[in-house]
Each structure stands twice: as structure tokens, then as C-alpha cells.
Amino acid sequence: MPVPVTEAVSPRRLIRDEVFLRLLDAIVEGDLTPGEQLYDAEIEKWVGVSRTPVREALNQLATMGLVEIMPQKRTRVTPIDTVRLRGLLDTVGTLLRGVIRDSTPLLTDADKNALLGLRERASATGLTALERDRVITEGFVDVFVRRLDNRTVARLFKRHFPEVRRALVAAPSSAAFDRGLPYLEPLVSAAVSGDSASAAQAFADYWDNGLATVVDEFAAEGKTA
């Protein structure tokens, strides 16, 4: 398990939270790849902490579907399962459609400017997987979910969206992201104009015809349960 090279744990955060966030970022961003085995001793050395907070962080990630723990056998980053991923994309997509519908009337001028900037960034050529990920998270989660300010919805996204992000970053190509681009213009335009129904429909088109097709790419590579 080649762990990332970063600084030691920050004293400003609780140790268990710091370890969790470090591991979460490493898994979502692809430093720790699907199926990769995880060793407590290496993680302890990486973040500079004892075994207890490492175990706590791994258990938390396991509840999110990002880590698979087999007692007395192995701990690894959960492989990408296309059946599970398809269901997760359906669920998250449906939830986001409702969020966009309900939050569009609440958008501030700053939110609308952020969306307009997002549209330009998404259309740039040669984006890396992490840059594509930021377009999605900064556009949908950081604007619409934040503006809705619903604790239940926020908790659901905190738990399930990292697994979606992980799959999109690990995708074999940018095809799913590229397929969604034609739908991004009407989505942003509708949201900026305050048209909730059109924004929600444009998002559904963006998600179903674009991002959700990443499942087909993984299925073509045989990444099933």
C-alpha cells in the first residue's frame, strides 16, 4: 500500500477526524485505488498516530462503502461494483434533482455567478479527473446543496456522494463527463433565471445521459460484484 506523502496530523482537529479526512481524500482522489489493500501500520506511519484512530477512521469509511473490512483477513479499498454503483447513481441523481428544484429560487447573486463560472470551467479542454471532480462538487454540492441548507440532505450527501466521486475520478475516460456537457448550459441558464422545473429537468438530463453512463464504462471492463 503506497500511502500518499503529506504532513503530519494537524493539532487543530481531532485526531480521528483528521485520519478519516486524510483517508477519504486519498480514496476519492485515487491515491488509494479500488481493491488496494490497506495496512494499519503504514497508515499509522503516514499520519503519525496510533492504531485506535486509524481503526476508527477505517470503520467509518466502511459504513460509507469505501472500505471493506474482513476480520482476521484483510482491509482494502472497496472495489467498484457496477450493480451497487448503478443503484447509488440513481439514488443520488434523484436526490440532487430535488435539491436543485427546491434550492433554485433561493440562489443568491453570488451563487449564480459561481454557476456561470462553473459553466466556463467545465467547457475547458484537457481537464484532469480531479478537475472534472471539482466542477461537479463545487457546482452541485457547494452551490445547490449548501443553499438548500437541509441537514438531512447534507448528511445523505456526506455519506454517499464520496463513493460517486470516487467512481467518476477512477473512470476509464472522461466520456461520461463529456456526454453531460451539452446539458450543462440549459441547467445553468435555468437556475440563473430562477426556473426551478427547467433546472431540475436539465439536471436530470445531465446526470442520466452524462455522469451516470460511467457505469457502462466500468461494466465494459468487467468490474462487477
CATH 1.20.120.530 corresponds to the domain 82-220: yes
pLDDT digits 0-9 by tens, 74-118? 899 999 999 999 999 999 999 999 999 999 999 999 999 999 988
φ, ψ for residue 204 (rounded to 5)? -60, -40
State the Cα–Cα distance between residues 101 and 217, nearest whole angstrom.
29
Instruction: Report pLDDT for 112.
Output: 95
Instruction: Report pLDDT for 3.
Output: 52
With a cut of 50, which residues of the chain have pLDDT below it?
A: 5, 8, 12, 224-225
State the Cα–Cα distance between residues 42 and 103, nearest whole angstrom.
43
Instruction: Report pLDDT for 222.
Output: 77
The class of domain 15-77 in CATH terms is: mainly alpha
**In this structure, are residues 52 and 40 in contact, taking their beta carbons and an 8 Å threshold?**
no
Contacts of 202 (CB under 8 A, 6+ apart): 183, 186, 187, 190
Instruction: Report pLDDT for 1.
Output: 57
Instruction: Report pLDDT for 4.
Output: 54
**In this structure, are residues 68 and 208 in contact, taking their beta carbons and an 8 Å threshold?**
no
Determine the 3-state secondary structure of 138 from DSSP: helix
State the Cα–Cα distance between residues 100 and 157, nearest whole angstrom.
14
Instruction: Report pLDDT for 224.
Output: 46
pLDDT digits 0-9 by tens, 143-158? 999 999 999 999 999 9
Q: Where are the domains of the chain?
A: 15-77, 82-220
Instruction: Report pLDDT for 192.
Output: 96
Give just the sign of the alpha carbon dihedral 25, 30, 153, 83: negative
Instruction: Report pLDDT for 48.
Output: 86
